[in-house]
Amino acid sequence: MKIRVLFRTLVMVAASAGVQTAFAAGDLTAQTPIEVKVLLGDHANALRFSPDRIELETGKLYKLLLHNPSDMAHYFSSEGLARAVFTRKAQVLGPDGKTIAEVKGLISEIEVYPGGTAEWWFVPVKTGVFSDLKCTIKGHTEGGMVGIVTIK
Ligand SMILES: [Cu+2]
């Protein structure tokens, strides 16, 4: 009887140790993020994303830094990207670069006002080529504010 109890205890200890290891290695959102900076428009108010080709890989944590240096608001919108990632959070940065708001939950598009900066933290979980990146403000897509997101 005593041996059976001891064996059961050992099994429980081994199992809990295994679970802890699995959590630490498995939490993909706990990685150091890879920063990818994208400008929405420019100082001359051109209707474009820079860069307009974004390449990502599944399983890595990204911090997509969206900055708008122009005089007009712009959207960063890609339904394909939104459906292919797990969002950890979005952050809004103040003029001094410090975080002033954090948003948790599903994100499908982000509007950044003139001079503003926002971050979208996510882990791509699905591969694909998404050519639906655009700014949804009237006339901006037509004016060339489009791009392609590739997830390998
Ligand atoms: Cu725009």
Q: Give tens-digit pLDDT for 43-74.
A: 999 999 999 999 999 999 999 999 999 999 99
- Residue 8 pLDDT greater than 60, yes or no: no
Cα(145) to centroid(ligand 1), Å: 6
Range of the domain at 69: 26-151
- Indicate whether 20 belongs to any domain: no
Cα(77) to centroid(ligand 1), Å: 10
- Indicate whether 21 belongs to any domain: no
- Tally of domains in the chain: 1
Question: Once rounded to an integer, what is the mean pLDDT over residues 97-110?
Answer: 95
- Indicate whether 133 belongs to any domain: yes
CATH number at residue 87: 2.60.40.420
Question: Rounded to an integer, what distance in angstroms lies between the CA atom of residue 126 and that of residue 83?
Answer: 8
Between 35 and 25, whose confidence is greater? 35
Cα(58) to centroid(ligand 1), Å: 28
Give me the phi and psi of 16, to 5 degrees please: -70, -35
Between 64 and 23, whose confidence is greater? 64
Q: What is the pLDDT of residue 26?
A: 84
Cα(17) to centroid(ligand 1), Å: 51
Mean pLDDT of all residues belonging to the chain: 90
Residue 121's DSSP bridge partners are: 63, 89
Between 115 and 1, whose confidence is greater? 115
Neighbours of ion ligand 1 (CB under 5 A): 74, 135, 137, 140, 145
Q: Is the pTM of this model over 0.75?
A: yes
Place 17 in a pLDDT band, splitting at 50, 70 and 90: low
Cα(69) to centroid(ligand 1), Å: 12
Cα(52) to centroid(ligand 1), Å: 13
- Residue 138 pLDDT greater than 60, yes or no: yes
- Report how far apart, in Å, the C-alpha atoms of 149 and of each of 27, 38, 111, 129 are: 24, 12, 18, 6
